[in-house]
A = this chain, B = another copy of it.
Amino acid sequence: MANQDGVVVSVLTQTKQQESPSAIDRLLTQTHADMARVNTLILERANSHVDMVPELARYLIDSGGKRLRPMLTVAAAALFGSGKGHAINFAAAVEFMHNATLLHDDVVDESDMRRGKPAARMIWGNQASVLVGDFLLGQAFMMMVETRDIEALGVLAAAAAAMAEGEVFQLAKTGDLATSAEDYAEVIRAKTATLFQAACEVGAMAGEADEAGRTALRAYGLELGNAFQLVDDVLDYRGETGTIGKNRGDDLREGKMTLPVILALAEGNEAEQKIITSALGDAEASDEQVRAVVTIMERYNTLGRTMDKAHFHARAAADALSPLPQSALRDLLADVVEFSVSRAY
């Protein structure tokens, strides 16, 4: 689904195992009209007379992200009806929050690459990345304010605070060998699933869903987000540099305590633990070291079990929608969950 403005790119190539259009491509088609309006709003609000702001913001925004979160917002709204027409603003605000987080995360993680291109901070520096992130966050709240929906604003403000809290928790646990699977579950819920949850919840609110509908979409978003991050953390070890848009083993080198490494440390013998800890948090760890760690992970099936957990959350996401009236869009949203998991194959 290449489209003229080039901001939404095809993801068909990523889902090779399917012949028919993937759920995500069907979602792209389904939300195309709304997303065209979202994209226009995004470009408009990333503007500034300070040239560096739109330059940096557009570099990131146009970098081929799938815009999954704002698509979920407009799809969730459409599930319930057109409502007051707030879905476009909500969706753009969600995408700005996401992009603000990416800019700050890349500074925090000292990432060189993002979506297969040099991270913005490698071109404009850490300083501009921090400040443009702040600008996008301010603009996100401005777009929310325009709808005058204080309740939806509260959902996104709470998500902003929770996401930052989750990132700090992850930072505090960096390289901490005592990090538990529960700690990890809390990190991914806060730093990733919260925004998926908020994106879906404000979408339902834009569609004027009743309480049950809003609760269903909240739960759907939360579980989808959990599944999404679990898969991301598997891809970091299993993906090929180039196709995952960053370098294989980055999480290991950054000392990130993700589930595959937590389980491998818990179950490996002393020699295996030593192989892992010598690479963990070492920015200079070689590809050979990463491969050795992956071998240990395969031995204890920690990547497979992390995928099992992703599937568990994916099923919970689909199940969350089942109380809602049957519709093609509801079924499509359930199918989209599969996409978040199938990325890893």
A-side residues, CB < 8 A to B, are 48, 50-53, 104, 107-108, 126-128, 130-132, 134-135, 137-139, 141-142, 144-145, 148, 150, 153-154, 157-165, 167-169, 171-172
Contact = CB atoms under 8 A, between A and B. Distances in A.
Contact of A52 (B50, B53, B168): B168
Contact of A165 (B127, B135, B157): B135
A130 B157 contact: no
23 contacts: A48-B165, A50-B165, A52-B171, A53-B165, A53-B168, A107-B130, A108-B130, A128-B171, A131-B171, A134-B137, A134-B160, A134-B163, A137-B160, A138-B160, A138-B161, A138-B163, A138-B164, A141-B160, A142-B158, A144-B157, A145-B154, A148-B150, A153-B153
Contacts of A159: 138
A135 B132 CA distance: 16
Nearest to A141: B157
Contacts of A108: 126-127, 130-131
A295 to B, nearest CB: 31
Contacts of A163: 134, 138
Name A's interface SS: helix
B150 A145 contact: yes
Nearest to A191: B131
A187 to B, nearest CB: 10
A130 B167 CA distance: 10
A168 B104 contact: no
Contacts of A48: 165, 168
A172 B51 CA distance: 9
A321 to B, nearest CB: 28
Nearest to A147: B150
Contact of A131 (B139, B141, B168): B168
Given A128-B168, A141-B153, 17 more contacts: A50-B165, A104-B130, A104-B131, A107-B127, A108-B126, A108-B127, A108-B131, A130-B130, A131-B171, A135-B161, A138-B160, A138-B164, A139-B161, A141-B141, A142-B154, A142-B157, A145-B150
